[in-house]
Structure 1
Amino acid sequence: MEKLELRNVKLQWLNGGVTHLDGGAMFGVVPKPLWSRKYAVNDKNQIELRTDPILIQAAGKNILVESGMGNGKLNEKQKRNFGVLEESSLDSELEKLDLKPEDIDYVLMTHMHFDHACGLTKDSDGELVSVFPNAKIITSQVEWDEMRNPNIRSKSTYWKENWQGIEQQVETFEKEWSIGPIKMLHTGGHSDGHSILIIEDEEMTVVHMADIMPTHAHQNPLWVMAYDDYPMDSIFAKQKWLEFGISKEAWFTFYHDAVYRAVKFDQDGKITDSIARKK
């Protein structure tokens, strides 16, 4: 359970499961000889992508970033297609910290694609119920609207099983939402409602760009996913917040990266410090 401790904020990564997605889709138009130097690929052309929520403890609150893959939400065909070799073990991970799902005060959803939102609900006697019954679930208004009314492209990733049962817990924002040292900012890009997180704790800064920079290998602003609905918005947002973070000597944190939990970049894009994921 890797940690990043600031002055007044603690971040810990929890095991939320794993997917293995097509490397070409994950790196878009970037040629494989380039991206495969930076991120391992298997013989099926798939790359390992964690789905590990970050527990943030700040301002006296337990705050979860994303919800993981959950349990029992995918059928066998979906598991095979998405390379899901492991589902969430969030309950046992929280138990190690003397916490329960009921102790989570906020769940911050940068967006609500299935690999981020499957862990929000679970089946209870044939009914979908909230996994985090006492939490406020925060996402952008744009994201929440599309989650419930997906278009012909997005209906493959916005599933009713991941929002039915939590409607009363959801609180939305337009441009920005904050609690203590944590801010959520709407960027668009990967999805129309996609958001990022900025944590500023005294002189220490964390930038969590979610799926506009899903791994350390996506550091180049032009390396965007074929999954991105609005790639130019991803490019502009990534460029802006990379420059901001590097100027602050910030930690860049990840939900999907199978190699690093967090890294620092210098002005040339080279990694100067890192927290590796323990395997």
Structure 2
Amino acid sequence: METLEVGRARLTWLKGGVNHLDGGAMFGVVPKALWSRKYPSNEKNQIELRTDPILLQLDGKNFLIDAGLGTDKLTEKQIHNFGAVELSFVEESLGELGLLPTDIDAVLMTHLHFDHASGLSKRVGDEYDSIFTNAVIYTTAIEWEEMRNPNIRSVNTYWEINWQPIEDQVETFADELKIVDGLRMIHTGGHSEGHAIIIFEDGDDCFIHMGDIMPTNAHQNKLWVLAYDDYPVTSVHEKEEWMEFGYSKEAWYTFYHDAYYRAVRFNESGEIMDELKRKRYEYKV
């Protein structure tokens, strides 16, 4: 597992699953001739995407950023359609670090689409139970409302089996939430109406987790947004604001979906000055 230290924070990427989605959908109106230079695709025009939660250890607390693809939520049809070649091994990853799911103090959810929220619970008998039973689960009030009352489009990604087991643990916020000193969640909208990003600042040290507004390193360009975005123009404006902010601080940008990079650090001109690559390994279902 790859790790990164930013100020007093330690980040460790867990194994949350991997799927493959259409490259055109992931890069919206950007021509393949452009995006394929930065991110490879297979013969089906699919790109490899991780769904790896980040364990954030800070001030004696254990936080998770998003929750992974889960172990038992996808049907055989969905596994085929989403190109899911590996499901979650989050509990096993925590075990390698000497931790149990009960050691997680909070889960910071950028949003609640199935590829981020399915790892919050698992099947036990005929029901689904929460995995991180001692954790507060933070999300925006807008996201939580749509999770429970999806529209005709979002019903395909907001699943009842993902929210019912954890509803007593959820705490929502409107615009911004301070988790601990220097760590905050900020509502952006864009990818979903309730989408949020996560920012940590400790003196001159900073990391920014842009969630699905910038799912991979190849989405650095502020105009390169997803066809999956509910509000793409909002994504563009929010990315513009927070990329400028991050460049000015020479911040690390961390990724949940990127199959090749865990994090990238840019200088004030937006050029890469440091990077953390993901170790490659054979998939196991």
- In the superposition, the TM-score normalised over structure 1's length comes to 0.98
Structure 1 SS opposite 2:68: coil
Please tell me the residue identity of whatever aligns with 2:139.
T
Residue 211 (1) aligns with residue 212 (2): yes
CA distance in 1, matches of 2:159, 2:250: 38
Please tell me the residue identity of whatever aligns with 1:210.
G
What is the root-mean-square deviation of aligned Cα atoms in Å?
Answer: 0.8
User: Hey, what does 2:125 align to over in structure 1?
Assistant: 125
User: Hey, what does 1:2 align to over in structure 2?
Assistant: 2
**1:7 to partner: Cα distance:** 2.7
Structure 1 SS opposite 2:19: strand
Report if aligned partners of 2:250, 2:268 keep a CA contact under 8 Å in 1.
no
**1:178 to partner: Cα distance:** 1.4
Please tell me the residue identity of whatever aligns with 2:105.
D
CA distance in 1, matches of 2:269, 2:22: 28
Cα deviation digits, residues 79-121 of structure 1 (max 9, x gap)? 0100100001111110111100111000010000000001011
Cα deviation digits, residues 130-153 of structure 1 (max 9, x gap)? 011110000000000000000011
CA distance in 1, matches of 2:7, 2:171: 28
**1:127 to partner: Cα distance:** 1.1
CA distance in 1, matches of 2:274, 2:260: 13
User: Hey, what does 1:87 align to over in structure 2?
Assistant: 87
CA distance in 1, matches of 2:106, 2:268: 34
**1:272 to partner: Cα distance:** 1.8
User: Hey, what does 2:185 align to over in structure 1?
Assistant: 184
CA distance in 2, matches of 1:48, 1:58: 30
Residue 228 (1) aligns with residue 221 (2): no
Report if aligned partners of 2:184, 2:200 keep a CA contact under 8 Å in 1.
yes
**1:264 to partner: Cα distance:** 1.3
CA distance in 1, matches of 2:12, 2:68: 14
Report if aligned partners of 2:3, 2:13 keep a CA contact under 8 Å in 1.
yes
Structure 2 SS opposite 1:166: helix
Please tell me the residue identity of whatever aligns with 1:255.
Y
Cα deviation digits, residues 24-55 of structure 1 (max 9, x gap)? 00000000000000001000100000000000
**1:267 to partner: Cα distance:** 4.3
Residue 201 (1) aligns with residue 181 (2): no
Percent of paired sites with the same residue = 62
Q: Unpaired segments of 5 or more residues in structure 2?
A: 281-285
Cα deviation digits, residues 234-257 of structure 1 (max 9, x gap)? 000000000000000000000000
CA distance in 2, matches of 1:151, 1:97: 40
User: Hey, what does 2:283 align to over in structure 1?
Assistant: none
Q: Unpaired segments of 5 or more residues in structure 1?
A: none
Once the two structures are superposed, the pairs formed by residues 1-279 of structure 1 within 5 Å of their partners are: 1-180=1-180, 181-279=182-280
CA distance in 2, matches of 1:88, 1:217: 24
Note closer, same or farther for the CA distance 1:264–1:7 as it changes in structure 2 (3 Å cut): closer
CA distance in 2, matches of 1:244, 1:268: 12
Report if aligned partners of 2:6, 2:207 keep a CA contact under 8 Å in 1.
no
CA distance in 2, matches of 1:10, 1:157: 31
Cα deviation digits, residues 214-253 of structure 1 (max 9, x gap)? 0000000000000000001000000000000000000000
Structure 2 SS opposite 1:275: strand
Structure 2 SS opposite 1:165: helix
CA distance in 2, matches of 1:267, 1:152: 42
CA distance in 1, matches of 2:8, 2:219: 29
Please tell me the residue identity of whatever aligns with 2:150.
P
